[in-house]
Amino acid sequence: MKLIKRRKKQYAEFFPDPATRDTEDLKTVVYANEDEDIDVDKALEEISKPTARVLAAEDPYEYEEVEIEYRDGAEGCIAWIEDKVYVPIYPNDSDIATWVRIGELPREPHPVTGKSYYGIWKEQCEILREALQMENGRFKYRLIVFCWMRGEGKSLLACLVQLWKFFNWTRQQIMLGANSRDQVKFVHFDIMRDIITNSPELLQEVGGKRNIQEKEIRLKDDLGNVRNIIRSISSFSGIVSNITGYTFSEIFDMKKPKFFVQLDGSIRNIPNALGVIDSTVSEKTHILYKLYQGTLTGKLKSVYFSYRFSRSAHPDDYWNPNMDEDQLNDYQEKFPFGEFERYFQNLWEAGTVQVFTPEMREEMHYIGTEGNVLDHREVLAVLKKKNELVAAAEDMSKKRLHGAAEEVLNRATNMLTRLRPVSDIYSLGVYRDIPTMASMATLQKLTEIFDTDWAVLAGVDFGDPFNPWPCSDDVNHCCKRLARVKK
């Protein structure tokens, strides 16, 4: 049993309007009531920089004292981590990592970002309070997914959850899964091994370094019998069964879902078995995106999916105190096209590396802006702004700001009136499953707009090697139509 301090209520001065003092969502600080008049520009500004509250120097909470056990869900997990676990950090005045107990993380703000290590831990605590909810002594969720940007501590948090189970439950068999032998060795297993080695109480509980093997960590009882194990495996390790937990690192890179199916299926029917995945975004055909959609629609009741992103790569969107604007700009310049958007912005549309952006593809439908022709940059700028508004409206809807979302969508739709569609001149319409030919009047109109002449050509596809006269009827038909056009 442990006596801890638990948050009782937030102070009102963290909100711009006293009307928001009772809201539970500190990240939505725009309006407490969606029926109020909404300043859309202000809402857009807030939503475009969702987030990181800085918890430094002063703690903005009032507390009440409660008794808690380490196995009591999220609060027990947080208390155990703060009491037992040491992690490496870089103090503001040093470039050498120092191991610090999480309960004693420094609150001093970084001189550039104004954030602290204590602040990032408090943000992660809020995630744990949602993910580790318990009902009648059982976890509400059996699979937890941390889909965050790089450098935000998602791998560390996944390891902390399973270490908490490893040290506080009995008969634990926890598998650390990944796509390759090397990855599984250098990600979660290394993190757990280093934490135990550098956390005095944990090292003592496992019986010293002799119980930390190359790919296995053991916890023995007083008689020397192995009580719990953590073992690293890969997709080459074969089938596992009746495990009590697993982690999976960077699942976005998994080519076939079979290994995940085996891992997740192995915790079936086992009370309080828990899987934890950490990853950046994947392709939209991937199992990771399916899990995300399943939680959004409510079809997956036992999956908790934490998705964080940054549309504009603004430093305020990141929790890590060392992530400043200069570093983000450097990575944006260094990384190949699409990689920065995937790893540092964590956008689903970047899950698949694309040659053409959505705006580039959409631009093909427009000739120009407001009477101009082929003003490429202006068209792209309008489409980019329109897509930003649509994305902001989606974010507002998720935060239940439906009135603001509808108004922003209307603004996005109105922006399209500045563009001149190609269909105003010619549309490749379909008549009886056959594309419509451009008329002479249409070609003449295109000639005037683009100041050019046109050549009308015909192409024939002889694609069937087994048909000696594959397209003779089509060829005759095309020739006759061309002859009529020429007349």
Q: Model confidence over 106-123: pLDDT tens digits?
A: 999 999 999 999 999 999
pLDDT of residue 146: 97
pLDDT band at 138 (very low <50, low <70, confident <90, very high): very high
pLDDT band at 16 (very low <50, low <70, confident <90, very high): very low
**What mean pLDDT do residues 313-322 have?**
93
Domain ranges of the chain: 50-315, 427-486
pLDDT band at 319 (very low <50, low <70, confident <90, very high): very high
Q: Give this prediction's pTM.
A: 0.67
Task: Tell whether the model's pLDDT for residue 246 goes beyond 90.
Answer: yes
pLDDT band at 279 (very low <50, low <70, confident <90, very high): very high
pLDDT of residue 87: 97
Closest CA relative to residue 456, chosen from 425, 478, 428, 472 = 478
Question: What distance separates the 2 farthest-apart alpha carbons in the chain?
Answer: 101
Residues in the chain: 487
CATH topology of domain 50-315: Rossmann fold (3.40.50)
Q: Model confidence over 193-219: pLDDT tens digits?
A: 999 999 999 999 999 999 999 889 999
**What mean pLDDT do residues 253-279 have?**
91
| Ranges 60-64, 129-133, 221-225, most confident | 129-133
Task: Tell whether the model's pLDDT for residue 265 goes beyond 80.
Answer: yes
Task: Tell whether the model's pLDDT for residue 99 goes beyond 90.
Answer: yes
Average pLDDT score over the chain: 79
pLDDT of residue 61: 45
pLDDT of residue 407: 86
Task: Tell whether the model's pLDDT for residue 26 goes beyond 80.
Answer: no
Task: Tell whether the model's pLDDT for residue 51 goes beyond 50.
Answer: no
Task: Tell whether the model's pLDDT for residue 238 goes beyond 70.
Answer: no
Q: Model confidence over 338-372: pLDDT tens digits?
A: 889 899 999 988 766 555 677 787 888 888 888 78
pLDDT of residue 353: 54
Task: Tell whether the model's pLDDT for residue 253 goes beyond 60.
Answer: yes
